[in-house]
Amino acid sequence: MTLLGEDRLLAPLRQALRDVPADDADIHVHRRRAAITRYAHSSIHQNALSDETHATVRAIVGKAVGVVTTNSLEPSDLRRAFKDATSLARASRPDDEWPGVAEPEPIPAPSAYHEETAATTADAQAKWIGVVCAAIPKGMRAAGTAQIEVTEDAIANTRDVAAYAPTTMAYLRALVLSETYVGSGYAEDLSMRVDGLHPEGIAARAAEKCALDRDRTQLIPGDYEAVFEELAVAEILRIVSLTGLGGEQVREGRSFMSGRLGEKVTGDRFTLIDDGLDPRTIAIPFDVEGTPRRPVTLVENGVAKGPVYDRMSAKAAGTQSTGHAADRARYAPGGHAANLTMAGGTATPDELIASVNRGILITRFHYTNTPDPRAATMTGTTRDGTFLIEDGKITRSLANVRYTMSALDLFAGIELLGRQRLARDWWSSNGMGSIYCLVPPIKVGRATITGSSPV
């Protein structure tokens, strides 16, 4: 994808807005170049590049709204989109709760774009994979993904809001499998910058876990001390975000915060903020409605402080949008917290493990879900590195276990925090409910295991 840049991307949007036959209108454009190279059995099996443009226009007539999306930025196509959206609005019914389009406010400059990352070639992606495959010990095989994503977002409306932000994202993961055992080990790097990827380090970390993962035994269900690595914590934060951090969820009584703002909902050591201005979480400084993102303290030392809002949920709550409107085609309305930072600590991985008398180490989860959203309960099975810890040392490899527990109960038991790292949950690593988390590994006093997979 050729980066259009601020002026070239905003120009057709401004031009199209001039002729809108509606009372108000806005347009959000998301352009994306995704280059993904996948490998398995230490061999590349898929290598794809796609350039996409998504333009979403909203036309407002009175308090009725029509929405049309197109993937063309041709002025004639955008004009037609606005005309169609206006027709839809006229044929629709007014929404008395319509909050209006965003008014201009200062928007911070974007800071999550790295030119060298955007210029990464297919050859470079293949070379990273080659390095991983060459670095793992004989008898092991590797699978995974190398990904470069370049995006441009732009918003403009009839109230003179205009903003633009490019981002880059570099990602490399390796799942190392043993030929001899059923074992597997996993590691990944995620960064705004291509120089944040370290193929040799990924291979070494994944291979080390794979080598440990042999002669698995099944764990008896029950409560255990546990160390959750960053990816596992990110998985739990995803559940917390999707079920409890939106303004509409809180208002409708579906969130763990509903009726509990200002109350202690979990332990002192848990603090969570959403900071859409922090480039470390590949953040864009405005939302799809054109509202600047504001840092929001969600939970502070265990106390529920408040959710994030889009314009509609903010109006319903009698407050201001925090700049957390998200694409309605992908996310539920009412505010989406997607740039999470969880307070960390200074414990090293070895110190976390050493603090466990008898418990488990969880590397990551697979296909999690929430049987009780209001309690932020998550269930999911572990994968690619689940180990028994005894007297501060890893002593056995475990068959994957099913974990089922309220995130609030889990975080109430935090005893140690490690250093933060950028991570995504299993779903978000593939673009579904995409949430970036700056997240620490944690040691907790109690994690509830409800079942075990076969060895």
Partner 1 sequence: MPSRDPRIVDLVSVAGSRGATYADARTVEREHEAVSVKDGAVESVTRTADRGTAFRVIHKGAWGFAATDRTDEAAISDLVNEAFRRAEASASVQKRTVTLASISAQRGEYRTKLGRDPFAVPLAERIDHLRAVDAASVGPNIKTRRSSIAAYRTRKRLVTSEGTDVSQEIVEAGAGLSVLAVKAGRKPASRYDSRLVRQAGWEYVEHLDLVARAGRYRDDAEATVDAPLADERPTTLVFAPEFLALLVHESCGHPTEADRLLEHEVAFAGTTFMWPDDRGKLRYGSRHVSMTADATVPGGMGTFGWDDDGVPAMRTKLVDKGIFVGYLTSRETAGALGVPVAIGSARAEGWQHFPIVRMVNVSLDTGTTPYADLLRGVESGLLMEAPASYSLDDKRQNFHFSTQSARVIRDGQVDGYVRGVAFQSLTPDFWGRCDLVADDWELHGFLSCAKGEPLQLMRVGHGAAHARFRDVPIEVRE
Give, as ranges, the residues between 103 and 142 that touch partner 1 (CB under 8 A).
121-123, 125-127, 129-130, 133
Which window, 227-235, 280-288, 336-344, 361-369, contacts partner 1 (CB under 8 A)?
361-369
- Among residues 45 and 393, whose Cβ is nearest to partner 1? 45
The reply to whether 404 sits near partner 1 by the rule CB under 8 A is: yes
The reply to whether 317 sits near partner 1 by the rule CB under 8 A is: no
By CB under 8 A, the residues from 33 to 62 that bind partner 1 are 34, 36-54
The reply to whether 268 sits near partner 1 by the rule CB under 8 A is: no
In whole angstroms, how close is the CB of 109 to partner 1 at the nearest point? 28
DSSP output for 68-98: EEES---HHHHHHHHHHHHHHHHHS---TT-
Contact status, residue 224 vs residue 446, Cβ threshold 8 Å: yes
The reply to whether 369 sits near partner 1 by the rule CB under 8 A is: yes
Among 88, 303, 316, 394, binds partner 1 (CB under 8 A): 88
Question: If you search the block for the tokens 């075990």, which residue do you land on?
Answer: 452
By CB under 8 A, the residues from 423 to 452 that bind partner 1 are 426-427, 429-432, 450-452
Residue 445 is encoded by which pair of tokens? 């006093």
Burial 406-434, CB ≥16 within 10 A → b, else e:
bbbbbbbbbbbbbebbbbbbbbbbeeebb
- Map residue 157 onto helix, strand or coil: strand
In whole angstroms, how close is the CB of 119 to partner 1 at the nearest point? 14
Print the binding letters for residues 170-209 with partner 1: x by CB under 8 A, - otherwise.
---xxx-x--------x-----------------------
By CB under 8 A, the residues from 137 to 166 that bind partner 1 are 143-145, 147
Closest CA to 250 of 326, 332, 338: 332
In this structure, the strands spanning 358-372 and 222-228 are parallel
Residue 340 is encoded by which pair of tokens? 């999470």
In the chain, the amino acid numbered 384 is D
- Among residues 158 and 404, whose Cβ is nearest to partner 1? 404
Which window, 90-98, 273-281, 351-359, 441-449, contacts partner 1 (CB under 8 A)?
90-98
Contact status, residue 447 vs residue 360, Cβ threshold 8 Å: yes
- Among residues 39 and 411, whose Cβ is nearest to partner 1? 39
The CA distance from 396 to 441, in Å, is 20
The reply to whether 66 sits near partner 1 by the rule CB under 8 A is: yes
